[in-house]
Chain A
Amino acid sequence: MSGETGMSAREVILARITEALRVPAPLPHGLTAESQSQVRQPQPRAAVTTSGASTAGITVTHAAAGLPTLTVLPEEVARPWLPDGGETQAERLQLLIENLVKLRAIVQQVPDLTAASDYLFTIARERDWQRVAWHPHPLVEPLLGGVPCATYRVDAADFEKNSLESCDAGITSCEALVAQTGSILVSSATSGGRALSILPHVHIVVATCDQIVATLADALHAAKERHEGHMPSMLSFITGPSRTGDIERILVLGAHGPKELILILVG
């Protein structure tokens, strides 16, 4: 290890990486290179052509230095191969609901916020909830008027883990709804921090139909745009109520997170 003495761990690891990458690796199993002629570009990933030549329909251009050049991002290439996200808004809505139902989430479609508030009242009464947690948001606040129980407001000014833990349900808004997988994208910025959507036994999401996007990539783009490069400290795709299969691979809902996931879809 004589070459490494006096260097920090960071320097050593980076030096090992540089040294290791001197010899180029062959292309991934099953892919073929198009040509050896291109010069390495400053951003090698910038360049992938799609063609039917290789098994994948992806052709990778090998640079002279033996480094790969891609002209399209894998996500763009893969889009037509991934699960369908729906072409029209109506298709997306249908896919989203189908997927959520398969995941054993509950979806309630309501025409407006008043109807949403009525629905919340009904389930809170039915289940005899003592306390529900919420966070300030234009879609969440209007629902609380009529809840037949105590409420706990979660915000930056005062947050108390034990108070939240004692709540029966947490009500949040979300960043986007993904038709492709039935996922709900929440974030620490728009869903009342990190714990509100995971600690209470029931998670209720209030969202509008125009928040539905086709794919996971679309949802990530929407979040990126909304937060203009300064991402919230947590972004989470929630795909159904918490579950585990750890005991004999038998599915059980409600492992550590919410046992129930309810989506109130407005409009």
Chain B
Amino acid sequence: MIVNHSPAPAAADSQPPRLAKKRFLHDAAEYVRDTGHRAFVRKALNGYYASRDLQKARFRNWEHARDAASLAKWSAVNRLDELLPRFVAAFEANGGQVHWARDAEEARKIVLELVRAARAKAIIKSKCMTSEEIHLNAALEADGYGVVESDLGEFIQQLRGEPPYHFVFPCMHVRRDEISDLFGKHLGTAPTDSPEELTMIARRHMRRLYIDADVGITGANFLVAETGQISITENEGNARLTAALPRVHIAISGIEKVVEHLDDLAVLLPMLATAGTGQPMTCYNTLYAGPRRAGEADGPEEMHLVLLDNSRTAILADPEQRDSLHCIRCGACLNVCPIFKNVGGFTYGTTYQGPIGSVITPHLRGLADWNHLSAASSLCGACTDACPVRIDIAHHLLHNRRNAARTAPNAWERLGHRLFVMVARRPWLFGLGGAVFRHTLPLLKALRPPLLRDWLASRDLPAAPRQSFRRQWERRQPREGRA
């Protein structure tokens, strides 16, 4: 059978061509100039580095544990054809109901229908990046449903009218005085500069909402094929409440979240917590197997799971980058990325920010318009080192660049490369070029030709060496006694 992988058009994601890149360059420049923002984000991350290292040290061998974790994900993703149906059968046997969505639009439709069928008056939601991906809140609101984000960071972002800044730390860029003002404006609370008091304001506000909501929407971190359970990781307890009190529980998950054995979680959960937030385990790691059982005190009457493709199968079809589906969304690669720390989360303009977002977004929304993210990399490899499931993110950025060059070659780049090859093949020409360049460098600095102006705006050209490298090398040889 021939299956076409052309990405489905997602209305909310489509932008005029190249606008994404223009916006990226513009926003990046703005954010980089904002040294206050950079310092604030760095300071927020310092505590993370310390506790992450502390927790890593508790592993008897972190590097080997990474291999085991990557193996668990690799063997699940590469057998998705077998494990996904197995998970679905087990989940249905537990009393859960499964809905399949090819793309964002289909997923939104499914959730809207479920919400309508439940005659929902109020909806409470816990953190779910898949719902950000499909722009669910906007769709629910357009249909007249009120939906409240219960995760503190997501709640703050919802009040601010912004998407998450970081997919694990949604409001890490917001100062406490801004949050105090925000709560004052929307909830009528008195100003405070205590993070604790601000957290309690949200706590008090939210408790009623859990009780009154008819529908609770959550994400899912893992789908366990062996037992038909879904695993949800969180710290605040808001997902626990969201899946306990409302009458209907709807979970939304990408199809790639499957693991085969319950045991796999004994490896993945502590690694997710260590890499993601520097904890031994996050506070609540919960496995749900369908709705309330007979004899249980409480729990929803219905449990639904929306399984979303939305171009994940396109990534699956690329064996070279298939492992980017191993991602457990810990956010570690963002926290160590020099680009993320300088340009910030919003600049990416994507649901998934940072290095992993730069790898997968071109698959989700088209390489031609999103390849610039792969170019926004110093290729330092910090992301690859940080990844608990050993995704070789840094090389995938190079793969994207190569793929883009193949599918839509840039005429200027090609001309440049051809010129270089021509010069490099002729030592005399190479030497001559070098000499010309060494002598005209001060002139270039002074003239600032348009091609170099952007580059020179934030950098300085080094002083030209007096001699070429080859010349210096020749002179050094005898002194160091090399053969």
Contacts and interface: CB of A to CB of B under 8 A. Distances in A.
A183 B281 contact: yes
Contact of B78 (A21, A193, A217, A247): A21
Contacts of B1: 3, 15, 19
A36 interface: no
A83 to B, nearest CB: 4
B284 A238 contact: yes
A114 interface: no
A80 B177 CA distance: 46
Contacts of B150: 256
B67 A31 contact: yes
Contacts, number: 375
Given A165-B207, A233-B289, A29 B384 contact: yes
Interface in A1-24: 1-4, 8-10, 12-21, 23-24
B298 interface: yes
Interface string A139-167: 00000000000000011100101100100
Given A244-B152, A254-B199, A15 B3 contact: yes
Majority SS at the chain A contact face: loop
Contacts of A255: 152, 199, 202-203, 235-238
A47 to B, nearest CB: 11
Contacts of A2: 4
B241 A198 contact: yes
A17 B280 contact: no
B176 A248 contact: yes
B5 interface: yes
A125 interface: no
B454 interface: no
Contacts of B44: 248-249
Interface stretch (A54-62, A116-124, A204-212): A54-62
Given A29-B391, A244-B152, A78 B84 contact: no
A242 interface: yes
Given A44-B75, A161-B211, A254-B200, A194 B298 contact: yes
B398 to A, nearest CB: 14
B170 interface: yes
Contacts of A27: 74
Interface string A224-267: 10000001111111111111111111101011111000000000
A69 to B, nearest CB: 9
Given A234-B243, A234-B288, A239-B282, A26 B64 contact: no
A106 B447 CA distance: 69
Contacts of B236: 242-244, 255-257
Contacts of A20: 5, 313-314, 316-317
A55 B285 CA distance: 30
B321 to A, nearest CB: 9
Interface in A197-226: 198-199, 215-217, 220, 224
Contact of B199 (A17, A103, A236, A252): A252
Nearest to A255: B236
A126 interface: no
Given A188-B299, A238-B284, A233 B293 contact: yes
A236 B244 CA distance: 12
Interface in A163-182: 165, 180-182
Contact of B152 (A81, A217, A246): A246
Given A26-B319, A30-B67, A233-B288, A9 B240 contact: no
A18 B60 contact: no
Contacts of A165: 207, 211
- Residue with the greatest number of chain A CB neighbours at <10 A, chosen from B80, B296, B389: B296
Given A74-B68, A81-B68, A188-B296, A239 B81 contact: no
A246 B169 contact: yes
Nearest to B48: A249
A247 B40 CA distance: 12
A77 B67 CA distance: 10
Interface string B285-306: 1111111111111110000000
Interface residues of A, number: 103
A18 to B, nearest CB: 5
A93 interface: no
Given A20-B316, A256-B203, A81 B64 contact: yes
Given A199-B241, A216-B269, A245-B169, A73 B283 contact: no
Contacts of A217: 263, 266
Interface string A73-95: 11111101111100000000000
A97 interface: no
B47 interface: yes
Contact of A233 (B70, B152, B299): B299
Nearest to A55: B67
- Residue with the greatest number of chain B CB neighbours at <10 A, chosen from A44, A74, A189: A74
Nearest to A42: B82
A113 interface: no
A254 B227 CA distance: 31
Contact of B175 (A60, A234, A248): A248
Contacts of B85: 14
Interface stretch (B99-107, B133-141, B343-351, B413-421): B99-107
A136 to B, nearest CB: 10
B323 interface: yes
A196 interface: yes
B354 interface: no
A135 B296 CA distance: 11
Given A56-B68, A246-B156, 8 more contacts: A13-B307, A48-B71, A75-B263, A80-B61, A193-B297, A216-B266, A249-B45, A255-B202
Nearest first, the 5 A-B pairs at minimum CB distance are A257-B237, A193-B297, A56-B67, A255-B236, A78-B68
9 contacts: A14-B81, A17-B81, A28-B390, A82-B59, A195-B244, A220-B262, A220-B266, A242-B235, A248-B195
